[in-house]
Amino acid sequence: MSWLKIFDENKPEAQVEFLQDADKISQRLHEVGVCFERWPVDKAIANTASPAELLNAYQEKIDQSKKEKKFIAVDVFRLNSFTPDPDQERGKLLEEHINPKSGLCFFVAGTGIFYLHTDKKVYVVYCQSGDVISLPAGMPHWFDMGPTPHFTCLRFFNSPHGWETYYTESDIANTFPKYETLVAP
């Protein structure tokens, strides 16, 4: 089950708010310019499909999102036990960064946590298969997929170059609990 935990940016040990209802999560994130919704997932193809098969399976949603939200590029982002050096990938995403253009992430399989830093708060969003999260351009954030990542996402970009990021040089991400602490086994 997806959830949202909200913290004061200076008190990572004290949660201010906790939501588990998808509609309430969506409403709360909408207040800070983030779109959260759910899309149907074809579980039969999610774990075994090649990137081309995934893109083909979700072509209708891809075309719709490109038309409605003006996305230019889509890629498949997958990390699992077959990924070479997952620690390096995790490390890159664990640093607070911004993307100069808006983007969308659709979880086809697995889980991950987005940490959104805005309005002197950190919004911690646990996403799972079927969740869609869209961040506005320039929102500071970081992402954690845990020490043994297992997820597949379709990422939508408003840039022909795909994923572009700039690190904020802030150490805030180091002060907040990581995936393995927030998601009990």
Coil, helix or strand for 3?
strand
**Per residue, what are the HEC states of 106-173?**
EEEEEEEEEEEEECCEEEEEEEECCEEEEECCCCCEEEECCCCCCEEEEEEECCCCCCCCEECCCCHH
Question: What's the confidence (pLDDT) of residue 43?
Answer: 64
Contact residues for 10 (Cβ-Cβ < 8 A; gap 6+): none
More confident residue, 89 or 141: 141
Q: How distant, in Å, are the alpha carbons of 26, 38, 110, 180 from that of 1? A: 14, 12, 12, 16
Comparing 48 with 55, the larger pLDDT belongs to 55
Asked if residue 183 lies in contact with residue 128, where contact means CB atoms within 8 angstroms, the answer is no
pLDDT at 89: 82
Q: Using one digit for the tens of pLDDT, what is the confidence trace for 55-105?
A: 998 999 999 998 998 898 999 998 887 778 878 888 889 999 999 889 999
User: Any idea which residue has 């075309």 for tokens?
Assistant: 63
Alpha-carbon distance of 112 to 128, in angstroms, equals 7
Write down the mean pLDDT value for the chain.
91
List the domains of the chain with CATH numbers.
3-182 (2.60.120.10)
* pLDDT for res 95: 95
Query: What span, in angstroms and rounded, lies between the C-alpha atoms of 80 and 95?
Result: 20
